[in-house]
Amino acid sequence: MNKVLLVEDDQFLSSLLKNRLIKEGLDVVPALNGNEALSLLSKDTKPDLILLDLILPGKSGFEVLEAIKSDPQSSKIPVMIISNLGQESDIQKGKDLGAVDYLIKTRVSIDFLVEKTKEFLKPKPAV
């Protein structure tokens, strides 16, 4: 079963997304802020994908992403940003820091987000 670390401080959205992803057969580990996410990663939570909000209490999503990518234990875990920050500079910064995708919450539905997550976790055909 694929494991997703969901880093989202909005309780309602976090709960909604978590329930939808669980219905799709995924194991979801929620974190409400950046410090909690990094703490979970340091405790052997090895997700197959991290869904990361940027505007978080404490550490920002950008700081969390930098920490994830600079740690050899977690640097290979793909991170998909889900944020309301839609500026081109934010999107570029996220991708420069190693995010595999950047979705703007106000422009995508929960269904789309769930589909994108499932699509990303599908086994890739061997080349």
In terms of Cα–Cα distance, which of 79, 20, 9 is closest to 49?
79
What 3 state SS string does 72-118 have? CCCCCCCEEEEECCCCHHHHHHHHHCCCCEEEEHHHCCHHHHHHHHH
Residue 123 lies in a domain: no
Residue 127 lies in a domain: no
In terms of Cα–Cα distance, which of 78, 82, 80 is closest to 104?
82
Give the pLDDT of the chain (127 residues) as one tens digit per residue: 899 999 999 999 999 999 999 999 999 999 999 999 999 998 877 999 999 999 999 899 999 999 999 999 999 999 999 999 999 999 999 999 999 999 999 999 999 999 999 999 987 666 6
Kindly report the CATH number assigned to the domain that includes residue 22: 3.40.50.2300
The pTM assigned to this predicted structure is 0.94
Residue 96 lies in a domain: yes
Residue 124 lies in a domain: no
11: domain range?
3-117
CA angle, 116 then 90 then 33, to 5°: 70
Residue 122 lies in a domain: no
- The number of distinct structural domains making up the chain is 1
Could you tell me if 1 and 26 are in contact, meaning their C-beta atoms sit under 8 angstroms apart? Answer: yes
Encoding tokens for residue 22? Answer: 């669980």
